[in-house]
Structure 1
Amino acid sequence: MTRPTAVGPPAYTETLPCKPETARRARLLVAAALNTWGMGELADAGTLIVSELVGNAVRHTPCRLVRVSVRRVTNDLVRIGVTDRSPALPKMDLVAGGDETGRGLMMVDALSHRWGYDEMRWGKTVWAELAVPPC
């Protein structure tokens, strides 16, 4: 009798309604994954990043659902992604000091090791990577 073996890196994913309150569930998913993997020091940045990515999908796309994923790429690198069905690509806008919105991707850029997006025929995934700081 054979035993199943893991293929690919550990990951968590959940499909959720495209609503503002989804950000809370997404934060819980990311925090749980990071703590499970012993990467709790990344939880503050990770939960803020996923909140911004979910918020952008809710505000800027006509989506009904989003898929939130957090994947351990290597022992010291995690990728957080939000997938929606909109072809509209994210862009980082310059904002004026008094503007109340428009800073989400700037925060993602500041908090992450790197970020980007993967286009698909039916939508996109916007992702950000977090690296465990060297000891």
Structure 2
Amino acid sequence: MSFKPHARRVEHTRRMAGALLRQDDVAREAVETVQLLVSEIVTNAVVHGNGDRVRFSLAYDPCGTVRIEVDDRSPARVAVRHPDPDEESGRGMFLVDALARDWGRRGTRTWCTVSVGSAREVRA
């Protein structure tokens, strides 16, 4: 999907990702992790992006992997920061680095992958 960079789009994108994964019976904890990472990467795109649009995609492999990808049209490098405890921002990529299986930046796109299981697998 594509949208104008606005703060209200972060929550909208987060909710949409959760709804899509819950349709496929992905475990609640995994959905919450994906939603957190969506929020962090989309927020970075809205705040630091260069274009008039943000492009977001979410791909779910039923074998257990979710790929989040956000294109912010910014050629800037993305880095993991270690902010001081009293800083109010700067933890987004730290969380992505800690929770994602893998992540990176290709051109103007930031992506990450998350290993998830389905609710059926958790109950089995």
TM range, smaller chain: 0.7 to 0.9
8 Å CA contact 1:57, 1:63 repeated in 2 = no
Is the contact between residue 80 and residue 128 of structure 1 (CA under 8 Å) also seen in structure 2? Answer: yes
Question: Hey, what does 1:23 align to over in structure 2?
Answer: 10
Which residue number corresponds to residue 103 of structure 2?
A: 115
Tell me what 1:66 maps to: 54
In structure 1, the residue matched to 2:31 is 43
Please, which runs of 5 or more residues in structure 1 have no aligned partner? 1-13
Quote the Cα distance in structure 1 between the aligned partners of 2:49 and 2:3.
15
Q: TM-score scaled by structure 2?
A: 0.85
- Which of the pair has the greater relative contact order for Cα pairs under 8 Å at 6+ separation? 2
C-alpha RMSD of matched pairs (Å): 1.7
> In the alignment, is the contact (CA less than 8 A) between 1:33 and 1:70 conserved in 2?
no
Per-residue deviation, 1:74: 5.2
SS in 2 for 1:101: coil
Bigger Rg, structure 1 or 2: 1
Query: What CA distance in whole angstroms lies between the structure 2 residues aligned with 1:70 and 1:19?
Result: 19
Q: Percent identity?
A: 31
Tell me the residue number matched to 2:68: 80
Structure 1 SS opposite 2:50: coil
**Which of the two has greater strand per residue?**
1
Task: State the number of aligned residues.
Answer: 118
Higher helix share: 2
Q: TM-score, structure 1 length as denominator?
A: 0.78
CA–CA distance in 1 between the matches of 2:11 and 2:82?
Answer: 27
Partner of 1:132: 116
In 2: Cα distance, 1:117 partner to 1:72 partner? 19
